[in-house]
Structure 1
Amino acid sequence: MRIRTFVTPAVVDGETAESADGIAAILFDNDDAGTGRGNLLCTGSIIAERWILTAKHCFAESHVKQDASKIQVRVKSKSYNDGGGVIQVDDIKWRTNHDIALLHLTRDANSEHVRLASASPVEGSTNYIFGWGTRSGPQGAPAKELRRATITVADIDDTDGYGVGRGIRSAKGNGIACSGDSGGPQFKLVDGLRYQVGVTSAVWVSGNACVSPMWSATVPTSLDWIKGVAGL
């Protein structure tokens, strides 16, 4: 999770998610046996059989960069380190000046895909975030099971964590994002269906706690780029 530069130095609170449909755990530096029981890097969403949408800073600001050989994803499991299936990543694409990245998988995820929103959410509306991030501050351990939280949209014309790309600023509902939730989806509900409007990018940190507000990169702003790269 990027910390906004103006801050003084798992989904916190929230609740256990009912399922991991459309959500992927992004792992790095796994063991040689390829079990996928490595370190949780970030969270992502499955937008097509071989494409994961997530945050650029997960890679650009870590030792990973664009070395896809260091990355695997786990799909179809509420646990980031057990169950489901583990798939190797063979390419990492990221968008200039936006906290948006796409991971290409070596095989099909065989999992439910998320719907991508073409319009931003309404200010004041309740949205939902998902992730395996720490529940006890930026230095804590990942959540054992996928969690979700409600958040309230405060501003749809803010910036993402880089302060350049368009972003959605949201206030805490029953929870807020923290380290490890980066790259996870922010959903709005339309007629009972969820549409991804944001990619978790940054959160306000006070002391050793992730607190409100948080920022997400705006998916509709990057929709043409996403579709072009993924061939959607």
Structure 2
Amino acid sequence: MRIARLAPALAIAALSVLGIAPTASAQATPVPGTDVQPIIGGGYATNAPWAARLFSNGRQTCSASIIAPTWILTAKHCVSGGGLSFRIGSLDQTTGGTVANGISVQSHPSSDLSLVRIDRSVGGTYARLGQPGSVSVNQTVQVYGWGATSQCGSEANCQSRYLKVADVIVTGGCRDAYNGSAICARRGNGITAGGDSGGPMVANGAQVGVASTSDRQTTTAYTNVTAYRSWIQSIAGV
């Protein structure tokens, strides 16, 4: 069953983008195994070699994934601050993996997607992108990010040091922050929050979405990667 667009009753206007303004230092959460919950709920990821933490002018702002040796996939609303850099392939945003700088940005004209070219070729495992029709309503999928761990006063102050993962349940098609095609999902064992923007939604091992908006309680919208495969391939070759 392919995703159908949700009825207008879904109030996307009530959702807000998941990026955090790079204006305050962030507080890392304790090491995995403590009772502080990542995302809001969910748990700590154990295997995500394609994961990338996005920094803008040295401050943590969003999540992302590496999809080819020199290309990062993230949300368009995450790249406007400039001075982009990434820590790639580490579950800990403060150490390990490979650090690379963004040298150019290609943003989709009508959806919340951007491709960032980095200044070096990074080997390893890249996120495999899904094809149209690979996500269905009521399917349980996984979402990843380093975002806020609670509905704190400033989401910049409760970011997770370690990559998080949560299950969400697909409810249908909707629109992202730029009115692009998106996949909406309801909370499973967790929900996305500020700083999870740009992070992947994964279905059966393939990335099918990029985090765009969330109400931090019950509903999140991910730009539908499968709907923009030809655009991604024309730029990144995958």
Bin the TM-score by the shorter chain. Answer: 0.7 to 0.9
Structure 1, residues 58-79: CA drift from partner, whole Å, max 9, x if none? 124xxx1xx4xx0110012111
**1:20 Cα deviation (Å)?**
3.0
Identify the residue that residue 154 of structure 1 maps to in structure 2.
171
After TM superposition, give the deviation of residue 7 of structure 1 in Å.
5.1
Using the TM superposition, give the Cα deviation of residue 107 of structure 1 relative to its aligned residue in structure 2, in angstroms.
0.5
- The correspondence for 1:122, drawn from 136, 146, 162, is 136
Matched with 1:214 is 220
- Structure 2 partner of 1:15: 43
CA contact 1:72–1:87 (8 Å) conserved in 2: yes
CA distance in 2, matches of 1:127, 1:161: 21
Q: Which residue in 2 is equivalent to 1:137?
A: 151
Q: Distance in 2 between matches of 1:92 and 1:200?
A: 18
Q: Does 1:231 align with 2:214?
A: no
- Which structure's residues are more often strand, by fraction? 1
Matched, 1:199 2:210: yes
Separation of aligned partners in 2, 1:153 and 1:226:
23
In the TM superposition, what is the alpha-carbon distance from 1:80 to its structure 2 partner?
Answer: 1.2
Q: From 68, 84, 99, give the equivalent of 2:97.
A: 84
| Aligned counterparts of 1:220 and 1:73: Cα–Cα separation in 2 | 24
Please give the secondary structure, in 1, of the residue aligned with 2:218: strand
1:6 aligns with 2:14: yes
| RMSD after superposition | 1.7
Unaligned runs of 5+ in 2: 1-11, 17-37
Sequence identity (%): 29
Partners of 1:75 and 1:111 within 8 A in 2? no
CA distance in 2, matches of 1:198, 1:110: 23
Aligned equivalents of 2:115 and 2:90: distance in 1?
20
Q: TM-score scaled to structure 2, two decimals?
A: 0.81
Equivalenced residues, count: 203
Structure 1 position 227, deviation (Å): 0.5
Unaligned residue ranges in structure 1 (runs of 5+):
31-38, 205-209
After superposition, the Cα gap between the structure-2 partners of 1:228 and 1:151, relative to the gap in structure 1 and judged at 3 Å, is same
2:117 aligns with one of 104, 111, 121: 104
| Amino acid across the alignment from 1:51 | W
Give a deviation string over 1:70-125, Cα, whole Å, max 9, x none. Answer: 01100121111222221111011100110000010110122210111112411001
Q: Which letter maps to 1:123?
A: V
Distance in structure 2 (CA, Å) of the matches to 1:228 and 1:25: 24
- What is the deviation of 1:160? 1.1
* 2:75 paired with 1:75: no
> TM-score, normalised to structure 1's length?
0.83
Report if the CA contact (8 A) 1:159-1:217 is conserved.
yes
SS at match of 1:221: helix
